Amino acid sequence: MDCIFCKIANNEIPSSKVYEDEKIVAFNDLNPKAPVHVLIIPKEHIKSADYITQENQSIIGEIFMVASEIAKKQGLKNGYRIVNNCGEEGGQTVKHLHFHLMGGRKMEWPAG
Ligand code: 5GP
Ligand code: ZN
């Protein structure tokens, strides 16, 4: 499948991985928007948050547990942000479900 994040998960293209288990991979964003900017993805190709089903939903809880673990490891003791962009207007550019874990600076709201 021609999916950049599947290729990263399969080690077909290089990335700077910070976490991996049998179902999840996390790696540094190529174009970081914060001092810590990690992308956490299921290895399974799920197109977006719109494609979470009864069958695959447990991966979301696992991703959030991994996010907290990575945040601790990266020293984000004052907090962090987890973002999911879904679909065109949500700002999703890569069509493989991913969560942005961002921290190391004060986040603005909304967005920013
Ligand atoms: P989206 O805009 O879909 O929510 O986020 C996609 C993210 O993937 C962007 O922050 C972008 O910088 C990152 N990205 C796109 N291509 C690559 C890549 O080949 N390697 C890495 N590490 N990050 C990528
Ligand atoms: Zn994929």
Ligand 1 closest atom vs CA 91: 2
Give pLDDT, residue 42: 98
Nearest of 107, 94, 83, 97 to residue 34 by alpha carbon: 107
Predicted TM-score (pTM) of the model is 0.97
Ligand 1 closest atom vs CA 92: 3
Give pLDDT tens digits along the chain (112 positions): 799 999 999 999 999 999 999 999 999 999 999 999 999 999 999 999 999 999 999 999 999 999 999 999 999 999 999 999 999 999 999 999 999 999 999 999 987 5
What single DSSP character describes residue 75?
Answer: T
Question: Cα separation of 72 and 78, whole Å?
Answer: 10
Give pLDDT, residue 1: 75
Verify whether ligand 1 is closer than 6 Å to residue 27 (CB atom): yes
The number of the ligand nearest the C-alpha atom of 2 reads 2
Give pLDDT, residue 112: 55
